Structures are given as structure tokens and as C-alpha cells.
Structure 1
């Protein structure tokens, strides 16, 4: 065993002990990965927890011990910029929104998770598109013209706090996770899938169609209980649900956002509770190349710093990955090489997702969950090193 390997083990031990001590300082309270919004209530304790943990750990680890260089520093050759673009609020009546999608007629469809609704904003007119029930999480327009819905199955816990809607995670029973599709011509709803190899899905989160249109990739987040959780994973299905396969499993802390590189050769997914962005080389429909080191076969692209949570993602036409990063309240723009290029600041700690205008990718629409807002903003991906611009909300009195 070489010295480098020994140091790596010691580094892992230090991190492991620090996590244990942190939990002790919190009285052994482990927050649910599926209910991140409750973290906000402990934000004032973070500094004290870190201080106490550092003091305790200093009696275990030698004072001259050097932590391994963080992965985000190894992947970055320069400091990322922060962009705070002007924000236009399109509606404040979005419920608990996720999965925005620009429709062929220019209207914006999105999920209202808490209400179990798919809604559509057409100009100033907000209307119900479909009542699907459960907890709709993600949308994708299929090559057959139907609107496909990733539905986590509902059975969620909610709290209203200071005028905000807070997700408290999942229940362990009474859910029905599935992918369904909506006929946009007549509003009818059909179920596509709800299980794989006889096992019911736990909390289907998002989906993306492959370039061929033969099928789609999707994620299952898994569910949390008081002292346990089921694992997340990445799956593929034929468009009609006639063939479904488990492609990357397990993502222990929940598979959430999913997207493909512009040429369709690379699949990306976020591991929500771990704050990690993974990638796989696509070998064909339902087939991913497996890299060494992880049971799910993925390659680590980026590790978010500061215990952030990585929600949904979109891949830009240039191939960069834009990730809803909680509770920092930014969209992190990460290159395929794992470099954090910029952060796009939003007026919301728990932003959930975004989409780009198919006619102009400099126009984006974002869902701000706890404040129930759908917003629009402009950004210039070609000038990621631009100066910081003061944030300004249009149509808001806050």
C-alpha cells in the first residue's frame, strides 16, 4: 500500500468522523434527502454545528493533517462568475412548480406537484392542462405529440411556513409512481409504466427522450423513511412502455435530474442528496457504458461544494449542464469536463428546474418552488465570464 493510498484513506476517515460528530452535535437528527426544505430551519445552527464539530474532531485528527484537495477545486482552473440577471415574474400562482416546458404554440406548461396538476401559462392566462393526481415532477414532449409526465406518485408531506410552501419529504405508503402521457388534442391520460421487473417504482422524477425517439431515459428518486430510504436509479423505456430496463443502479442519495448531450452520446443525472453530477456514455437504447469505481457505472463530473443539493438539470445547445442547486438558490452551469463556469442567481432558495426557449436558448423559464413562481430571464452563455449584474425583479414588490 503506497503512501498516496494511505493518505486517501485517512482523508476519508477524517470526513467520516466529521460527519459523525456533526450528527452528534445535531442531537443525532439526520435530515431527509427527499425533504430538503426543512434544512432551511436549521440554517442559523450551521455555523455553531461546524464550530463544535471542528473542535471535537481536532482531538481525533492530528492538527497538522491536510485534507485532500476538494474535487471542485481540482476540476476548476479559474473562479466561476456569478450572474444575477433581471427576472420577469410570469405568475405567482404556480403552486409548487417543477418541470417547465415550452410548448409548440409558445405557451409554458409546468407541473404543480402539490396539486397533482399540469398547468399551462399562455400569455397572462393561467389554466389547468390536466389533473393527473399524484405528484407530477417532470415533462417531456414525445415524438408522437403526446405530453409525457414523470409522476413521483404523491403521498408527500407539506407545511405552510411564513407564506411559503415547504416540502417535508415522502410518505412510505399510499403512493403510485408512474410515467403517463396526455393527449393534447382531447386531454385524455394514459399510463405508460409503473414498474420494472415486477418492482414498483418509488418516486419517478424526470425524463428525457433519446434522439431516435424510440424511447426515453428517466430517473427514480427513491423514498425516505424515518430511519431508512430506498435507492434511486436511472432507467430506460420504449416509448410505449413495452420494454423497460434498469441501467444505472443504485444512486444511493436519489437520482433526480436527467439530460442528454446535444449529440446524444452522453447521459447526465444528478444524485440529489449527495450533490453530485454523474455521466455515462450511451452505447444504444437502454445501454450505458460502465466505468469502474461505482456500482452504477457512472463517471463523476462535478461535486457541488458546501453540502448543496442538486435537483433537475437541462443541457444547453453548447453542451453545458445547468443544474438547479439548492439551497444556495442558483443554477450551476457546469462544463462536460466538470468545470463550474458560472452560477445564475435566483430569488429563491429552492429553485427546482428550468427550460430554454427552443427558438432562442438565451431565454430561460424557471420554477421557484416554495414561493410558487414561474419566472423568465435572459442570459448569454457565450459570455460566461461577464461581470456581476445587480438582481432586479420585474413585476414584484418584494
Structure 2
């Protein structure tokens, strides 16, 4: 509850100081913890305490009061606002910003990428199309893209795309739309590029991660994931993170001088639902403070530098999110792909670009 974005709920809690204290724990202590979590998360709640044991005497007596409190101002929507500077979400979200619909009517949106001007590009691999949004207007950039999925702009200004349908990665000239093969005979899902133009990409089918230096052949740098999916660099481009969708982990690696991956470990522990240990982690992005933003089946999870989930933004619609990027002229708006749509939301963080690595601040609590 402390990590999730508050939902529009009003909560009434009641307990007695002499409630059960058994092998499973203390009801009284647990309800105090619950009340503390509601307070911290910013919910509208009340906690009425009595002296009864584990029975319905006190609860029955105050039930009319509870119902009146829960249904007060029925015509007025419930708004759980986070007080500025007082909660985790106020450090992430700009004011009362909500998800806004950007584009819809696609088959399956993926691969959001941002160019030097802050313009958004995204793919629809099932329709084999790439779209772009300039000055708020969405238009078709390219069709017949070989089921292009993951996208990212490189330091050369070209749009790199995982054309899995043609088993290659290409670089698009955004002025002409001409695609130049970069690496062929590969299965790829998502990719990341650094300031030198070096590429790392995931191959979920073979459970591998590959590396390509400009002008060189691909090189295997890791294998053994259940389902390697999203991939991202740290702000200073010294670490590589890889999401394993069929687990609750995002792995972190040091990058060697030859592009190889060293000292890998499951580092970011994602939150999952009770039905599965798989997070369905997909596309990821980083902000300038070194926080990792991960699309999952429970929402947009935000992890701090030590690897902890500190906040989870609600999904704009049911279903899993597939990818995320910071875009806009100031790189202060997150765009997510979700099903057949694209959404955006103003935030209090700024994103990164491959051509401008930065040194993040020291990790904190």
C-alpha cells in the first residue's frame, strides 16, 4: 500500500485493544500498521479504537456512524491527494497530473523512443508500422517495418529498430525513411544504445543478451534468463540492466571494456501479484537521478538506486504495460505503451538520452 499510487477510496477501520494475539500475529498491532500505511499513502481514512476482544460488539455499535462517514458527500468524488513534499509520489508526479490518452486504434503499441527534439516515436509490431508524434500530432512514419518492436535513437540521430520479422536490427534515416541493416540473422526484442553507438539487445527466444560494436559482428554477452526483455543503461552508461519478465527481478551488470557483462546479479526486486511470481516486466527507462522505471503487470514500478521499488504508478487501463520513455522538449513527461494505446503523464523527473550520459547523485534512503 505504501508503494502504490493511492486509489479513490475512503476507508473506515475499527478494532479493539484486546483483539486476538495468536500464532498468526496480533490483530491490534496489524490494524495499527494498516492505519499508519493509509496515513502515509495519503488516503482519506479514520480509525476508531475500542476495548473489546475479537467480537462484533463494538463494530456493531458504531456501524451507523461508519456508514454515515463512508457515504458523506455522495455527490462529491473521493480525492486522495498527496501533500506536496510530504509523500513519495509528490517527488515523482507533477501536481495532480493524471494519465492522458495520446493515441489509440493500434493493434499493439510498443518501443517508445525519443529524438533530440523530444518527439515521440513508437512501434506497432503486429501491424508492422512505426508512428511518431510531432507538435502533438500523431502520424505514420513507416509501414512494412518487419514487425519492428524495440526502438531507440542513437547518437547519430538515426532510429534503431528491432525488425524481428526480418531477423535483423536496422537504423532508419528519419528524413528519408530508408533503413540500413546494422546486424542480421538475429532474433531481437528490445535494444539500448550508448554514446559510442554500441548496442546491446535482448533475444527472449534464445534467452540471451547480445552486444554489437559499430562495424563489428554481434557477440554473446549473457545467457540463462527465463525471458530477457527490457534493457537499459544506467545514467553514466557503466551499468546495464535487463528485465527477466518471468521472474520478479531486473538484473544489473557492470559493462566491461569490450562490451561484455560482468558481476551480474538480480538487483531490482519488483512487486508481483499474489497469483504469480512473474512481474511481466517489459520496457524500461532511467531518469537523471538513477531511478529505474519499469513497465509491469501491476503498474509502472519505480526503483531507486539501491534496487528498491519506491513507488508504483497506477496503470492507465487494465492489462500490462509494454514500454516507457521520457519525451517532450524537457524530457519531463513519461509516455507508456499499453495494449492498443499510448498514454502520457507529467512527472517531476527528467529522462535521459543515449547521446548525453550523466553522473547520477549518490544513492540515498
TM range (shorter): 0.5 to 0.7
Q: Hey, what's the Cα distance between the residues in 2 that align with 1:186 and 1:90?
A: 25
Is residue 317–residue 361 contact of structure 1 (8 Å, CA) maintained in 2? no
**Would the aligned equivalents of 2:118 and 2:329 in 1 still touch at CA under 8 Å?**
no
Cα distance, 1:288–1:96 mapped onto 2, change above 3 Å: same
Counterpart of 2:306 in 1: which secondary structure? Answer: coil
The 3-state SS of whatever aligns with 2:322 is strand
> Which of 203, 207, 216 is the aligned partner of 2:199?
216
1:323 corresponds to: 294
**2:284 and 2:295 in contact (8 A); partners too:** yes
1: CA distance between counterparts of 2:312 and 2:238?
Answer: 25
Counterpart in the other structure of 2:256: 283
User: Could you give the per-residue CA deviations for residues 96-116 of structure 1, whole angstroms, max 9, x where no partner exists?
Assistant: 111112233443211011111
- The equivalent residue for 1:11 is none
SS in structure 2 of the partner of residue 360 of structure 1:
coil
Quote the residue 1:108 is aligned against: 120
Q: Which has the higher helix share?
A: 1
Higher relative CO (CA 8 A, sep ≥ 6), structure 1 or 2? 1
Give 1:339's match in structure 2, choosing from 284, 304, 308.
Answer: 308
**2:188 is equivalent to residue 189 of structure 1:** no
SS in 2 for 1:217: strand
With the length of structure 2 as denominator, give the TM-score of the two structures.
0.65
Q: Specify the structure having the higher radius of gyration (Cα).
A: 2
Q: Give the Å deviation of 1:232.
A: 1.5
1:366 match = 336
SS across alignment from 1:309: coil
What does residue range 186-335 of structure 1 map to in structure 2 within 5 Å? 186-195=176-185, 201-202=186-187, 204-213=188-197, 215-222=198-205, 231-240=206-215, 242-251=216-225, 253-289=226-262, 291=263, 297-306=264-273, 307=277, 308-326=279-297, 328=298, 330-335=299-304
Cα drift, residue 304 of structure 1: 3.4
Q: Which runs of 5+ in 1 are unaligned?
A: 1-63, 66-77, 154-175, 196-200, 223-230, 292-296, 383-398
Q: Identify the match of residue 379 of structure 1 among 329, 337, 347.
A: 347
Would you say how many aligned residue pairs link Structure 1 and Structure 2?
Answer: 258
CA separation of 1:300/1:105 partners in 2, compared to 1, >3 Å: closer, same or farther? closer
Contact 2:119 2:327 in 1 (8 A): no
Q: CA RMSD in A?
A: 2.5
Aligned to 1:128: 140
Task: Please report the TM-score for the alignment, with normalisation by the length of structure 1.
Answer: 0.60
Matched, 1:140 2:152: yes
Unaligned runs of 5+ in 2: 1-22, 25-39, 42-86, 351-365
Give matches, 1:28-39, under 5 Å. Answer: none
For residue 144 of structure 1, report the CA deviation from its aligned partner: 2.2
Name the SS of the counterpart of 2:176 in structure 1: coil
The equivalent of 1:355 in structure 2 is: 325
Change (3 A) 1:379 1:258: same
